[in-house]
Amino acid sequence: MVGAKLPMAREDSQLSSTERRKQSRKRLPSWFRTNLPTGEAQIAFNEVLGNVLEHGLATVCQEARCPNIHDCWGKGTATFMVAGEQCTRACKFCAVGTDRKPPPLDIDEPENLAEAVDLMGVNYAVITCVNRDELPDAGAAHYRACLEAVNRRNPNVGLEFLCSDLNGDLDALSDLLTDLELLVFAHNVECVPRLDRRVRDPRASFDQSISILREAKRLRPDILTKSSIMVGVGETDEEILEAMRMLREANVDLLTIGQYLAPSPKHLPIDRFPEPELFSLWDQEARDLGFKAVASGPLVRSSYRGGLLYEEARNDGEIVTYGDSETL
């Protein structure tokens, strides 16, 4: 009896674009691992997790399956996203859904967010947002309302806002930041300038992001500004260094550098996996350029150890990430 005939492998030309992307996806290297918290950090994590489960709270940390959730929650930091679940932009690296006309803003969101931060029991909250280009102020008034509500209910919680580029509207930025209680204003350039078109939505650019960061510092020299660069999207080491220089020229205080990981085969493919030693080198180069605090490692994300990074910058305290890249 003749055995069942095995299916023949198809030529590359016969594969769909999704199948080709799957075949080309790179395996994660051995250094992609995280350490579970111990001691006081484990107790703190368990307390935050207990609050989340008891009250049915939702955070970006959970929804994005962030590999650093144990680390950050164990240190009292959590991230929340406002202004909906649909973004008006379609960056090639991002897992957030896209809709040119997303649902209206939730007028109850500011108070609901403030309650969630309170119930969760964190000491440092990072609030981030989707782009809302369809709104006259790109969402600035709503973002401000959310931050003010959190501060009213949780005056002892440190606040960091990871903002969109507000469609380049500097007046909207002024309305957002004037007299706002805030420790850190963050906006991510995401990639080096040459790769804007490959990585980001056509409405975004390195120059526009730099403009927002520079104006934020001019408007509020009392708060820290922050940005983040992804690596593994086609950049060179020299371009990373030049991007860091451009950020420092815009008086950006804090920097995070992390490995890009494709959310799905349909997203931008990974170009490379720099080794941990290279992240440590970028960390040192950033500090040499004058950044007040830096987090650089394969698993670093823009809000990684947000509270500790703030404390390091403000108090000239112990470096919280350098030399620790093996566990990032």
Please give the angle made by the CA atoms of 88, 94 and 98, to the nearest 5 degrees: 25
Cβ–Cβ under 8 Å, residues 161 and 143? yes
Q: Is the pLDDT reported for residue 318 higher than 60?
A: yes
Beta strands in the chain (DSSP E): 77-82, 86-87, 97-98, 124-129, 158-162, 184-186, 224-231, 254-259, 293-296
Cβ–Cβ under 8 Å, residues 248 and 289? yes
Calculate mean pLDDT across residues 256-268.
90
Please tell me the predicted confidence (pLDDT) of residue 2.
Answer: 38
List pLDDT tens digits, range 114-148. 998 998 888 999 999 999 999 999 999 999 999 99
Name the average pLDDT for the chain. 85
Residue 81: pLDDT band with limits 50, 70, 90: confident
More confident residue, 17 or 223: 223
Residue 11: pLDDT band with limits 50, 70, 90: very low
Please tell me the predicted confidence (pLDDT) of residue 37.
Answer: 63
Cα–Cα distance measured from residue 43 to residue 102, given in angstroms and rounded to the nearest whole number: 40
List pLDDT tens digits, range 168-189. 999 999 999 999 999 999 999 9
Nearest to 14 by CA among 23, 5, 6, 4: 23
Residue 9: pLDDT band with limits 50, 70, 90: very low
Please compute Rg for the chain using Cα positions. Answer: 21
Q: Is the pLDDT reported for residue 18 higher than 60?
A: no
Q: Is the pLDDT reported for residue 268 higher than 60?
A: yes
Residue 4: pLDDT band with limits 50, 70, 90: very low
Q: Identify the CATH assignment for 38-327 out of 3.30.420.40, 3.40.50.970, 3.40.605.10, 3.20.20.70.
A: 3.20.20.70
Quick one: how far is CA 131 from the chain centroid? Answer: 14
Question: CA torsion, points 41, 46, 51, 56, in degrees to nearest 10?
Answer: 120
Of 1-5, 126-130, 272-276, which gets the smallest average pLDDT? 1-5
Please tell me the predicted confidence (pLDDT) of residue 79.
Answer: 87
Predicted model pTM: 0.85
Please tell me the predicted confidence (pLDDT) of residue 54.
Answer: 74
Q: Helix, strand, or coil here: 280?
A: helix
Q: Is the pLDDT reported for residue 93 higher than 70?
A: yes
Quick one: how far is CA 213 from the chain centroid? Answer: 15
Domain boundaries, the chain: 38-327
